[in-house]
Structure 1
């Protein structure tokens, strides 16, 4: 915005800023700990899988199996390398998000206004704040213009307080918000030393709640760990009973424990969420907490404002209705002197330095149409801010000669109520309002007063006004908005329009935007007086909510939540703050949204495009579905590993130690990247945004899905153990049997990763969804298997042998039969 810096406000120099920051530090409550690579590595080496690998490596070293010990050490490097890579990617993604989420602050330095990250504000800085902005440090006002501040975050009082450099209380505090005007204040306290900082110290120690999905996954891991310990002890006991060899018994037990532990799941969850948020950031969608991605996919209702969300927020002055002449002037007739008074008073009732698009337009039209620009001759000496239900505002100006201008504007109903009009006159004005409203125009009533004296009433509604006319704005719907709402509807998500505008204008714009079922809107006054049960019913049934004030918006959001809806609330104004905070997902506009709206929201759309929210919801659904695919894959592939290690031992088969730790760790090295890297990169299925939203209460795996994964695992186990028996009964020795079992399991693993790309579409249909990482991992797995089978030193180390073409085809056939039945299941599912 334009602001001429007064001569005496030069601000700090660069050298003074540096000295101040060295002495007082930075403007942050808590210095964020930078996780070093050493800390990351330390965290990784606390993981159960790494601990098991280290124990096995030590046992091999103690008994003198140096080749196996060396392999285990290489495995430790590889597993920790993969974990380090994933953790580092997640960390960097979260750091990038944190950086973007930090608000910018305006300061005067070297006699220039600069925008800097808030943590760089220094003691002694001259900070600049304006309407709709958060105040980010404690200080004293040195210059102001019509400045009022909301201090409810500190005092609990919701009304705004006017302050200037001459008032008794000229201090302003971090965490409060500018309601009107502008101010320059000298910073006295920053970070922990601010009033908010001293309260905030206790807040910093409050741990963030875990999401339902995190809790469910942690519970699942805990159960698997308990099972792992129980099986480890039983295998050790049984093996020791048969062999009386403590080392073999320990190795067998540890092999099985390693095969049971699904350590890939928490890694996959963290990676999916952090990278999902990072990818959305690149799309212009800033997610403040990566866990909100999970909630996005469950959105059932989107509550949206009209102006700037559905419409362009361009606010063209389309027409002016002059009450005296009872005539409507279109935008080519604004130079007509008959309409001059309405334009003048519409401008005078606006902020002297306009913030709102409508007020900017009124200032511009005034400058273009009036013979003499009197703005520099008059100074505002009293103001009534926008308030009331419906709202209005009043500004009082005077010049050096003491001549006054008292101007008001607001919702036409509010202006009509404060003017002395007959019922016939009111009826004529309402008729004009109805005509304009049906066209989707936004209307403001304009009035003037001859109020004398300085005994200002407490409320502006007590002043007697003369009605002058209506200013008529047209804010057209955004170009692609119909397509956006069609996508939202197809995704099974309901739309609610919650706006401060009148019913006729809102209904007209909603119809133009393609929103269904918009008849019979409800207004804010009705909402305020409704009992809770009635409100819940209306919130569910109605689509348009008009003439809404903050408390009414909040009530609608709370009612929808009580109805079991997952609510995304979109807003950009100061008044949207409470509703944005209360919604499951508060969505603020990045370009035209106020700082207060952005601070209250959990998602910020950087280019104010509602279509981006649809992308975010789609991403939430994709990520949740992919986590499910990864988890189901992990469960399915762990079952054959567990049973192949344990059943030959428990059933007393010929080769009880068919797999040793080196074989299991190789399988783990294949599975880790498949679930946490490949599935994270899996594109969205084409029917994802045609499904109903997932209930947030739904467990991440239903019993049906869990049973399906277990059946998949058991079918692969049947195929692998069939190959075991077939090879053994055909005269195969331990090495050949192990090789056939191992090869079958690798082939089954590859096919399972392909089949589980979709639980609805066929594997061949899924090939259309390009995932280059899947191709790379599959190719590498086959290549390494080839090396293990046909490079003698490697095959000797793994106690494997080379296979002929017939044996490979036999192993491949068993793998195909044990996995591809799932394609028939999906086909039947599609036919149903």
Structure 2
């Protein structure tokens, strides 16, 4: 049985066996019931606006107004189509993002280790799980090496559990996290049949929590809907009391209710967020949760690690201090003591290195050794990176009883476990100071001669002999100085949180003109501060060195307690708690562990921090454009509401100036304007020179809405003046209706153009690259012209052809009622100059 297990663990399943298993057991996923488009269609059918349109259509048919009824039905189909199209766009964007964020796992198939998507794993597969990954399916352990798993997702117990193929504790479960070692496991259960899947099935219909902005929008729309319902009954009651005509009164009340409902706002929000995430994906930033897009523009602090983010992560062994010589030696001057030190450092590394420093040690060992001994030794015990400061130890055996025990880690950690005289400590500290001041990353190396079979619980209990220091140079990325300057310009603080020591970090930081290199704080110093003292200190210090996971988490929480919106970069297992705690967790796509990617909210595909500048700019752009869209919706709704209500309530000569067909036409124009034009607007020139937007800001405060309300009221005054002008000149109802409608349409067009910026003039924004604005405005003009000059449509809308003067005065009033806002913008620009 053992030989068969070994054979299959080496060969794995064949491609044919994989297909058979998938056909029999399905894919490794919890199947969600329901089609998103059908779900959207159901929500449309229950939407208040849809119900109002349907009722209006029925009333038209009952009254014998067949043309109006048909137009309403066509409009209902068209609006439903637009909504489904928007949902389809959003769904496609989110599906593409989901495809990119699918977790990967390693399996053995056809005798080779390959990477596949987690959902593609099948029962019978041999999966390879190692430190930094999560278990993709339930399985039984076949082979393991110092293997430990965090099963808190299932058990609530945060301490790692050691596992092996012997005994009862020989199973692994989907979703649990590997914190040490490696194992090969045979898959026993997938999808809903795993321990986690059974829990997930019961939670299938739990909805994702709404973001603050979503809640604000939902509350605003709900209040407007309630207001619409209240006014509907009031207007219907007044009209019925006066006319005793049920259907006519109902139609007038419906017209007003339709004008009040701002159903474009939630559609605009979902469209902006989904397409924003898609745009970020095209830039190389993968967004796992669309709610993150909303938060990006508010980031006030970015916490970044050093290696691989600030630096190239291309470690080269530059200098060493071999303990027998007590001298710092460069690579080109290596002698036997230096070669021996590199050999010990190589044995302290992983047999198959993936860390940049370990790769460098293996490369130098291979080129400097006289006899490569790696094939003759097998690792028999491992102490993973642990301790404060951290170190790691590997134990190798060649099968004949000869044992190698080597350790490497922070020099301070090695100094703690090795016997040192005071003079020795001075030598090491002086060498450490000299190396770190040049920007080198330094590791200490030690060996042990422990001969027992029962290894101590911790590596610090072994007797170690110090062998020296190895120093690596990892140059800063060429663009990182410009990246940090972009963050500073945008009012964002940058803090470095690293496991390296303060001197090395400060040297690299100075090379890239990082601000605040004079103040540093170590993880150990942090633990000695009270929460109150640290809460103040965290805002003053920009370099945090020798940081361990709990210390990183404490920095994050302290920043958050100071009201900061924190973005955090990370790549390792130890970064996971801080990534999860940050408002915006940022994992690195190339070097990031699967765990880091899983808990983060963003993934930078090429590990280039410059992408975060793009992401923050995109976040600010999306928020600003959404604000423009919502303010436009509110501004244009006010004249529609008041033009329906005022003539009716005051008993003017033409009380029903607009009917449902007019309102629905305006809805057809407004929807694409806010969801298509404004979503496609570029970033404004000054967006990345402003301070971050407070997360507590809302579109719906009186201060934010005041401009929209004033714009809407001025447009209303302009339309009412045209109405009164027409009445005073004894124009008939059709002419009056046509003039007021044209004025409203013209106001809508110019409002769209003026509100492209609340700071820059229309002469600046006209140069913005947004081809969609010309298309939408052209369609609006063509449709409006059709209503004015095609007889069938004129009869449907009860319009009349306008004389040149009548048309001109309507155009002029529509333009004037909006363009005044350009004067306010000019005053603001002058005051800021």
Q: CA deviation at 1:567?
A: 0.9
Establish whether residue 210 from structure 1 lines up as the match of residue 210 from structure 2: yes
The equivalent residue for 1:94 is 94
Counterpart secondary structure, 1:75: helix
Contact 1:90 1:270 in 2 (8 A): yes
The equivalent residue for 1:635 is 634
Q: CA deviation at 1:156?
A: 4.8
Summarize the Cα distance change of 1:70–1:168 in structure 2 as closer, same or farther, 3 Å threshold: closer
State how far apart, in whole Å, the 2-side matches of 1:522 and 1:202 are.
46
Establish whether residue 17 from structure 1 lines up as the match of residue 21 from structure 2: no
The equivalent residue for 2:356 is 357
Counterpart secondary structure, 2:388: coil
State how far apart, in whole Å, the 1-side matches of 2:333 and 2:248 are.
97
State how far apart, in whole Å, the 1-side matches of 2:571 and 2:377 are.
31
State how far apart, in whole Å, the 2-side matches of 1:510 and 1:794 are.
70
Contact 2:106 2:129 in 1 (8 A): yes
Establish whether residue 478 from structure 1 lines up as the match of residue 477 from structure 2: yes
The equivalent residue for 2:40 is 40
Q: CA deviation at 1:198?
A: 3.9
Summarize the Cα distance change of 1:84–1:768 in structure 2 as closer, same or farther, 3 Å threshold: same
The equivalent residue for 2:68 is 68
Contact 1:587 1:605 in 2 (8 A): yes
State how far apart, in whole Å, the 2-side matches of 1:227 and 1:465 are.
77
Summarize the Cα distance change of 1:760–1:702 in structure 2 as closer, same or farther, 3 Å threshold: farther
State how far apart, in whole Å, the 1-side matches of 2:146 and 2:369 are.
25
State how far apart, in whole Å, the 2-side matches of 1:48 and 1:155 are.
45
Contact 1:390 1:411 in 2 (8 A): yes
1:205-264 C-alpha deviation (Å, 9 max, x unpaired): 544221111111111111111111121122212222333322221111111111110000
State how far apart, in whole Å, the 2-side matches of 1:7 and 1:474 are.
43
Counterpart secondary structure, 2:408: strand
Counterpart secondary structure, 1:273: helix
The equivalent residue for 1:565 is 564
State how far apart, in whole Å, the 2-side matches of 1:780 and 1:398 are.
79
The equivalent residue for 1:112 is 112
State how far apart, in whole Å, the 2-side matches of 1:38 and 1:520 are.
58
Contact 1:181 1:353 in 2 (8 A): no
The equivalent residue for 1:383 is 382
Matches within 5 A, 1:73-152: 73-152=73-152
Contact 2:264 2:671 in 1 (8 A): yes
1:261-293 C-alpha deviation (Å, 9 max, x unpaired): 000001001111111111111211111111111
Structure 1 residues 239-248 or 663-672, which shifts more? Answer: 239-248
Q: CA deviation at 1:6?
A: 6.8
State how far apart, in whole Å, the 2-side matches of 1:22 and 1:801 are.
67
Summarize the Cα distance change of 1:37–1:182 in structure 2 as closer, same or farther, 3 Å threshold: same
Matches within 5 A, 1:304-315: 304-315=304-315
The equivalent residue for 2:750 is 751
State how far apart, in whole Å, the 2-side matches of 1:749 and 1:732 are.
24
Structure 1 residues 822-831 or 450-459, which shifts more? Answer: 450-459
State how far apart, in whole Å, the 2-side matches of 1:289 and 1:440 are.
38
Summarize the Cα distance change of 1:54–1:556 in structure 2 as closer, same or farther, 3 Å threshold: same
State how far apart, in whole Å, the 2-side matches of 1:34 and 1:602 are.
26
Summarize the Cα distance change of 1:168–1:374 in structure 2 as closer, same or farther, 3 Å threshold: farther
Summarize the Cα distance change of 1:161–1:249 in structure 2 as closer, same or farther, 3 Å threshold: closer
The equivalent residue for 1:727 is 726
The equivalent residue for 2:27 is 26
Counterpart secondary structure, 2:691: coil
Q: CA deviation at 1:159?
A: 4.9
Establish whether residue 705 from structure 1 lines up as the match of residue 704 from structure 2: yes
Counterpart secondary structure, 2:88: helix
The equivalent residue for 1:587 is 586
Counterpart secondary structure, 1:575: helix
Contact 1:628 1:701 in 2 (8 A): no
Q: CA deviation at 1:363?
A: 1.1
Matches within 5 A, 1:153-168: 153-166=153-166
Summarize the Cα distance change of 1:333–1:148 in structure 2 as closer, same or farther, 3 Å threshold: farther
State how far apart, in whole Å, the 2-side matches of 1:371 and 1:26 are.
51
Equivalenced residue count is: 826
The equivalent residue for 2:219 is 219
State how far apart, in whole Å, the 2-side matches of 1:574 and 1:149 are.
12
Contact 2:149 2:161 in 1 (8 A): yes
1:306-339 C-alpha deviation (Å, 9 max, x unpaired): 11111111111111221211222223234x3231
State how far apart, in whole Å, the 2-side matches of 1:202 and 1:540 are.
43
The equivalent residue for 1:454 is 453
Q: CA deviation at 1:75?
A: 0.7
Q: CA deviation at 1:199?
A: 4.2
Contact 1:296 1:621 in 2 (8 A): yes
Counterpart secondary structure, 2:127: strand
Structure 1 residues 313-322 or 155-164, which shifts more? Answer: 155-164
Summarize the Cα distance change of 1:96–1:424 in structure 2 as closer, same or farther, 3 Å threshold: same
State how far apart, in whole Å, the 2-side matches of 1:643 and 1:653 are.
13
Contact 2:32 2:204 in 1 (8 A): no
State how far apart, in whole Å, the 2-side matches of 1:531 and 1:522 are.
14
State how far apart, in whole Å, the 2-side matches of 1:412 and 1:162 are.
29
State how far apart, in whole Å, the 1-side matches of 2:623 and 2:252 are.
36
State how far apart, in whole Å, the 2-side matches of 1:534 and 1:156 are.
32
Q: CA deviation at 1:181?
A: 3.8
Structure 1 residues 425-434 or 548-557, which shifts more? Answer: 425-434
1:662-701 C-alpha deviation (Å, 9 max, x unpaired): 1111111111110111111111111111111111112223
Summarize the Cα distance change of 1:173–1:491 in structure 2 as closer, same or farther, 3 Å threshold: same
Q: CA deviation at 1:611?
A: 1.1
The equivalent residue for 2:259 is 259
Structure 1 residues 724-733 or 262-271, which shifts more? Answer: 724-733
Contact 1:395 1:408 in 2 (8 A): yes
Summarize the Cα distance change of 1:299–1:71 in structure 2 as closer, same or farther, 3 Å threshold: same
Counterpart secondary structure, 1:485: helix
* Structure 2 unaligned residues grouped into runs of 5+: none
Counterpart secondary structure, 1:376: helix
* Structure 1 unaligned residues grouped into runs of 5+: none
Contact 2:127 2:186 in 1 (8 A): yes
The equivalent residue for 2:271 is 271
Contact 2:104 2:594 in 1 (8 A): no
Matches within 5 A, 1:315-714: 315-334=315-334, 336-714=335-713
State how far apart, in whole Å, the 2-side matches of 1:795 and 1:206 are.
50
State how far apart, in whole Å, the 2-side matches of 1:68 and 1:205 are.
41
Q: CA deviation at 1:161?
A: 4.8
Summarize the Cα distance change of 1:66–1:822 in structure 2 as closer, same or farther, 3 Å threshold: same
The normalised TM-score by structure 2 is 0.96
1:415-452 C-alpha deviation (Å, 9 max, x unpaired): 11111121111111111111111121100001112222
Summarize the Cα distance change of 1:351–1:47 in structure 2 as closer, same or farther, 3 Å threshold: same
State how far apart, in whole Å, the 2-side matches of 1:413 and 1:155 are.
36
Q: CA deviation at 1:39?
A: 4.0
Q: CA deviation at 1:203?
A: 4.7
Contact 1:181 1:351 in 2 (8 A): no
1:23-74 C-alpha deviation (Å, 9 max, x unpaired): 433222x213452644433332222111111111111111111110111111
State how far apart, in whole Å, the 2-side matches of 1:398 and 1:661 are.
86
Summarize the Cα distance change of 1:691–1:98 in structure 2 as closer, same or farther, 3 Å threshold: same
State how far apart, in whole Å, the 2-side matches of 1:39 and 1:216 are.
23
Counterpart secondary structure, 2:643: helix
Matches within 5 A, 1:181-192: 181-192=181-192
1:7-32 C-alpha deviation (Å, 9 max, x unpaired): 5422222333233334433222x213
Q: CA deviation at 1:516?
A: 0.4
The normalised TM-score by structure 1 is 0.96
